[in-house]
Amino acid sequence: MLKTILRYIANYKNYFVYLSIAIISIFLIKFNDQPKLRQFKVLGLTNFAIINYTIDSVIDFFRNDSEINSLKHQNAELMMQVNLLRQNGFENKKLKELISLADTSKFDLVPANVVSKLISRTQGTYLLNKGTNDTISVGMPVINEKGLIGIVTEVTSEFSVIKTLKNSTLSIAITIQRTNVDGIMNWDGKELIIKNIPTTYDVVPGDRIETSDFSTLFPPAVPVGLVLEKKANALGLLHNISVKPIADIDGAENLFIVRYLSNIQAMKLKNTLKESNN
Amino acid sequence: MINIAFLKTVIIGFILILAQLISVPFISIENIVPFLPILPLVYFTLLNGQIFGTISGAIIGLLFDIVSGGLLGGGVLALSTAGFITGYFYGENKSDINNHSFWFIVYLFMATFIFSFLYASLSPNNPTISFLSLIVFEGLLPAVYTSIFGTLFYLFISKRD
**pLDDT, mean of residues A170-196:** 86
Task: Find which of B17, B23, B31, B54 to mutate to test the A interface (most A CBs within 10 Å of its CB).
Answer: B31
Fold designation for B4-19+32-160 = Arp2/3 complex 21 kDa subunit ARPC3 (1.10.1760)
Asked if B22 lies within 8 A of A56 by C-beta distance, the reply is: yes
Asked if A26 lies within 8 A of B77 by C-beta distance, the reply is: yes
Residue A239: pLDDT above 90? no
pLDDT value for A104: 47
Q: How far apart are CA A179 and CA B30, in angstroms?
A: 31
Domains delineated in chain A: 2-50 (no CATH), 109-277 (2.40.10.340)
Counting Cα atoms < 13 Å in the Cβ hemisphere of A56 gives 22
Give the 3-state secondary structure of residue B160: helix
Residues of chain A neighbouring B41 (CB-CB closer than 8 A): none
**pLDDT, mean of residues A159-164:** 87
For residue B137, give the DSSP letter: I
**Do β-strands A192-198 and A208-211 pair in parallel, antiparallel, or remain unpaired?**
unpaired
- B114 — pLDDT class (breaks 50, 70, 90): very high
- What are the residue ranges spanned by the domains of chain B? 4-19+32-160
**pLDDT, mean of residues B53-75:** 89
Q: What is the pLDDT of residues A51-61, one digit of tens each?
A: 777 776 676 66
Asked if A55 lies within 8 A of B18 by C-beta distance, the reply is: yes
- B11 — pLDDT class (breaks 50, 70, 90): very high
pLDDT value for A238: 83
pLDDT value for B81: 95
For residue A34, give the DSSP letter: S
Q: What is the pTM of this model?
A: 0.69
**∠A132-A134-A138 over CA atoms, to 5°?**
45
Residue B151: pLDDT above 70? yes
Smallest Cβ–Cβ distance between A121 and the set B32, B50, B124 belongs to B32
Q: What is the pLDDT of residues A88-124, one digit of tens each?
A: 776 676 665 444 444 444 578 888 888 877 766 667 7
Task: Report phi then psi at A128, rounded to 5.
Answer: -110, 155
Q: Is B98 exposed, middle or buried (0-12, 13-18, 19+ CB in 10 A)?
A: buried
Residues ≥6 apart with Cβ < 8 Å to B76: A21, A24, A25, A28, B58, B61, B62, B65
pLDDT-above-70 percentage for chain A = 80
pLDDT value for A100: 42
Asked if B120 lies within 8 A of A27 by C-beta distance, the reply is: no
